[in-house]
């Protein structure tokens, strides 16, 4: 019979965290920015159909980096959670805080109990009537949760990208401004100044969808031509 080596819990957790961090660091970054028109979610993603950004509920959106199969299953679970909650209580009772804490519990449970931790990092965003009511949560692979102010940056070169965003972020940015800032930040490690409109995936949570589009669903995916147009717009 082979003897099992003793591995201290500290070492075990550290190994798992290192493993997850390595997986996440390979991926491209995602930027979520709160601005005057709502919340802009921007990802470097050349695929037009495999999304990193998704709608969860009326005012809640989801963005992720890491392994696609893992965050896609988390996104679907989030949509199910939100729809069940909204159907059994009321649409108003679905909040980003509730969703984020469920995600935190799931990620935490997988981190400690499963064969391998999820190699993902998530952002959950909820748009409010005013910028002060916006909520941005960032969730990491081990289930820790952070309430961020103004913007969230996740992914491979998060620190460098976050530096650029922090430098350019102002509360009164409009959507085009937020998009330009995000695209500029995502190109931080590249030779180019900013990514072309076709290499990014972008969506927005409109601050007042009822008056603008007559829909209570704030989430709107921006098409490639819309992105290009917004990026090219007034400097």
Tell me how far, at minimum, the Cβ of 201 lies from other proteins, in Å.
Answer: 12
CB-side neighbour CA atoms (13 Å) of 37: 14
Helix (H, G, I), strand (E, B) or coil at 37: coil
Burial of 137 per CB tally in 10 Å (0-12, 13-18, 19+): buried
Which helix (H) or strand (E) element contains residue 206? strand 200-206
Span interacting with other proteins, options 75-83, 123-131, 193-201, 202-210, rule CB under 8 A: 75-83
76 is an interface residue for other proteins by CB under 8 A: yes
Of 14, 15, 87, 147, the one binding other proteins by CB under 8 A: 87
Q: How many residues bind other proteins (CB under 8 A)?
A: 26
Q: Which is nearer to other proteins, 24 or 82 (CB)?
A: 82
Of 37, 40, 41, 55, the one binding other proteins by CB under 8 A: 55
Non-local (6+) Cβ contacts of 30 within 8 A are 41, 42, 43, 44, 52, 53, 63, 64, 65, 123, 153, 154, 155
Span interacting with other proteins, options 15-23, 48-56, 139-147, 169-177, rule CB under 8 A: 48-56
Cα 33 from Cα 171, distance rounded (Å): 9
205 is an interface residue for other proteins by CB under 8 A: no
224 is an interface residue for other proteins by CB under 8 A: no
Q: Which is nearer to other proteins, 75 or 184 (CB)?
A: 75
Tell me how far, at minimum, the Cβ of 221 lies from other proteins, in Å.
Answer: 9
200 is an interface residue for other proteins by CB under 8 A: no
Non-local (6+) Cβ contacts of 5 within 8 A are none
Of 14, 80, 167, 190, the one binding other proteins by CB under 8 A: 80
Cα 74 from Cα 143, distance rounded (Å): 13
Cα 146 from Cα 58, distance rounded (Å): 22
197 is an interface residue for other proteins by CB under 8 A: no
Find, among 55, 58, 24, 28, the residue nearest to 139 by Cα. Answer: 24
Site string for other proteins, 106-135 (x = CB under 8 A): x--xx---x---------------------
97 is an interface residue for other proteins by CB under 8 A: no
Q: Where do the H-state alpha helices sit in the chain?
A: 9-25, 68-88, 96-113, 158-168, 175-186, 209-213, 224-232
Judged by the rule CB under 8 A, the positions of this chain that interact with other proteins are: 49, 51, 54-56, 69, 73-74, 76-81, 83-84, 86-88, 102, 106, 109-110, 114, 215, 217
């Amino acid at each position: 019979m082979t003897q099992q080596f003793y591995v201290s819990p500290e070492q075990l957790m550290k190994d798992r965290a290192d493993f997850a961090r390595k997986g996440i660091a390979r991926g491209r970054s995602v930027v979520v920015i709160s601005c005057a028109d709502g919340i802009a979610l921007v990802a470097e993603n050349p695929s037009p159909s495999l999304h990193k950004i998704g709608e969860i509920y009326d005012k809640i959106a989801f963005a992720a980096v890491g392994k696609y199969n893992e965050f896609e299953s988390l996104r679907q679970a989030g949509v199910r959670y939100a729809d069940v909650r909204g159907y059994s209580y009321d649409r108003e009772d679905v909040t980003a805080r509730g969703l984020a804490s469920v995600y935190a519990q799931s990620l935490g449970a997988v981190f400690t109990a499963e064969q391998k931790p999820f190699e993902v990092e998530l952002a959950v965003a909820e748009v409010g009537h005013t910028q002060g009511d916006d909520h941005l949560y960032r969730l990491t692979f081990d289930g820790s949760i952070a309430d961020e102010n103004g913007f969230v940056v996740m992914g491979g070169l998060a620190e460098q990208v976050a530096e650029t965003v922090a430098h350019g972020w102002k509360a009164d940015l409009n959507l085009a401004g937020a998009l330009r800032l995000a695209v500029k930040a995502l190109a931080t490690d590249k030779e180019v100044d900013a990514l072309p409109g076709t290499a990014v995936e972008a969506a927005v949570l409109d601050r007042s969808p009822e008056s603008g589009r007559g829909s209570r669903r704030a989430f709107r995916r921006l098409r490639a031509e819309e992105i290009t147009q917004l990026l090219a717009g007034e400097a």
